[in-house]
Amino acid sequence: MIDTLRKEELSLSYLNAVCAYKGIAVEYQRHDEDSIDVIIKKTMTRSNGQELITLLCVQLKATAQELVKDEKGFSFPLKIKNYNDLRMESAVPMMLCVLRLPNREEDWLTHTVDELILRNCMYWCDLTKLPETDNSTNVTIHIPWENTLTPETVLNLMQKVAETRSL
């Protein structure tokens, strides 16, 4: 399996684990021509007591390359097609999730009989308010450190979508 597919599978594994822990279903998209790899869904109870089947579309990326970092976050090069797709208005909110892996492949994952460790972290980003660009191949986006995708974060994002139908 080539490295890009291995990284993709690790990003799916990360998202699956985080969502499973909070009872959120992950549905794989057979085709991702619109830059959506998975849809996560859960029936959420809104603040008014109403239950709502809540959906959130996700584009997954993973990288082991050294990224430009600062105290607020890191920069990630995104293909222009993904950038434009994820900026588009949609009936279902969309987000980009980027799994940062260690540079050295042998540090990506550790397994013992007591634990399975997938190193580094996944971060999320909402691109819907980002501006158009004249770039033709890639756009560098900035993802804040505070946007870590944890079990609690993904549940909070789903609750926000249930309440406002946006991120």
Residues 13-29 have pLDDT tens digits of 999 999 999 999 999 99
SS3 letters across the chain: CCHHHHHHHHHHHHHHHHHHHCCCEEEECCCCCCCCCEEEEEEEECCCCCEEEEEEEEEEEEECCCCCECCCEEEEEEEHHHHHHHHCCCCCCEEEEEEECCCCHHHCEEECCCCEEECCEEEEECCCCCCCCCCCCEEEEEEECCCECCHHHHHHHHHHHHHHCCC
Domain with 17, as residue range(s), is 3-164
1 pLDDT above the threshold of 80: no
48: domain CATH number? 3.40.1350.10
Q: What is the pLDDT of residue 4?
A: 87
Mean per-residue pLDDT of the chain: 95
73 pLDDT above the threshold of 90: yes
Residues 32-60 have pLDDT tens digits of 789 999 999 999 999 999 999 999 999 99
The domain total for the chain is 1
Q: What is the pLDDT of residue 2?
A: 86
